[in-house]
Structure 1
Amino acid sequence: MTHLAKLTFKSVSKATARDPVIARRDKVIAALEEQKVVFAAAVRGEQHMIERSKWMTNDQGERVLVKTQRRARAWFFQQDQGWYVQCRYGARVIAADGVNNAVFVRTLKDVAPVLDAFVAAANAGELDTVLAKIAERQPRIKPGAAKASAND
């Protein structure tokens, strides 16, 4: 006990909590910057590949770190004699103006200014309410659970 008596003890809680609004904003901006790279690859007629590391078990049963590549999905697509550009938060498409989920442009070259506008809107905080709404988790209800709880 004499070893611990020499130490100074205090109760403390770690205050590294990050503002969730800023975290959502940063996540969208990082994804939009990635989409600019995907757009540049699409203009060149290529697919943008993202390299990631993952742990796998080899034939000898050892866990090794392997670098794999996956294709980055574009948030823009061609339809109706033009291009539609969507903004996403994770896998969810957000309605940036509150109603519609895509921006229509005539040519592929017009996609870049839309991505820049999304980045500017995210930096200005214009997407915060939409991101907050889409980021909140809804409880998963099993198909028969709603009827069963109503009968109680």
Structure 2
Amino acid sequence: MSQLAKLNVKSVVRTNTRDPVQQRRQKLITGIEEQMSVAVAAMNGESYEVAKKTWAKNEQGEKVLVERMRKVRAWFFEQDGGWYVQCKYGSKALALGKGNAVFVKALKDVQGALVALKAAAEAGELDEAIENMMKNRGKKAA
């Protein structure tokens, strides 16, 4: 008797319980919340790091799961006498109306811009920008 004959085999199509738009929106909101922590660290003159689990070899040559600290890159930078705040999905900056960044005068104002971007994401105002970015991914800009 074969091994498969002993099993109860059925055909199934897996259903996704969450809407893809909601999943993308939540991913963006999580990224913005992380950037709020980055902004607080930048105001204190520190860098923000998060723990990341990776596989590495120990002294005996065995693969083990270890925790390493990873620096989080800021979505904001200083230029033109102020600070630009971008809203990124993955590594790409989203289009925010006519541009791709919010300009604020001081580093302390970056937090307010991130709060506004989070509110816009929660309200679904950035869903179209995410959708357009997803359509254009993989295409090279000329």
Q: Residue 123 and residue 139 in structure 1: after superposition, are their counterparts in 2 closer, same or farther (change >3 A)?
A: closer
Aligned sequence identity (%) = 48
Query: Partner amino acid for 1:96?
Result: L
Residue 59 of structure 1, CA deviation:
3.4
Q: Residue 64 and residue 87 in structure 1: after superposition, are their counterparts in 2 closer, same or farther (change >3 A)?
A: same
Return the alpha-carbon distance in structure 2 between the equivalents of residues 85 and 14 of structure 1: 39
2:88 matched to which residue of 1?
88
1:110 matched to which residue of 2?
109
Q: Residue 139 and residue 77 in structure 1: after superposition, are their counterparts in 2 closer, same or farther (change >3 A)?
A: closer
1:131 matched to which residue of 2?
130
Q: Which has the larger radius of gyration?
A: 1
1:56 matched to which residue of 2?
56
Give unpaired runs (5+ residues) of structure 2.
Answer: 2-7
| SS at structure 2 position matched to 1:34 | helix
Give unpaired runs (5+ residues) of structure 1.
Answer: 2-7, 142-152
1:45 matched to which residue of 2?
45
Return the alpha-carbon distance in structure 1 between the equivalents of residues 137 and 106 of structure 2: 37
Query: Partner amino acid for 1:75?
Result: W
User: TM-score when scaled to structure 1?
Assistant: 0.80
Give the RMSD, CA atoms, in angstroms: 2.3
Return the alpha-carbon distance in structure 1 between the equivalents of residues 85 and 139 of structure 2: 30
Return the alpha-carbon distance in structure 2 between the equivalents of residues 25 and 135 of structure 1: 13
Residue 57 of structure 1, CA deviation:
2.0
Which digits, 9 at most, give the CA deviation of each residue in 1:40-99, with x for residues without a partner? Answer: 1011110001111111122322110111111111111111111110000000011121x3
Residue 136 of structure 1, CA deviation:
2.8
Return the alpha-carbon distance in structure 2 between the equivalents of residues 50 and 138 of structure 1: 27
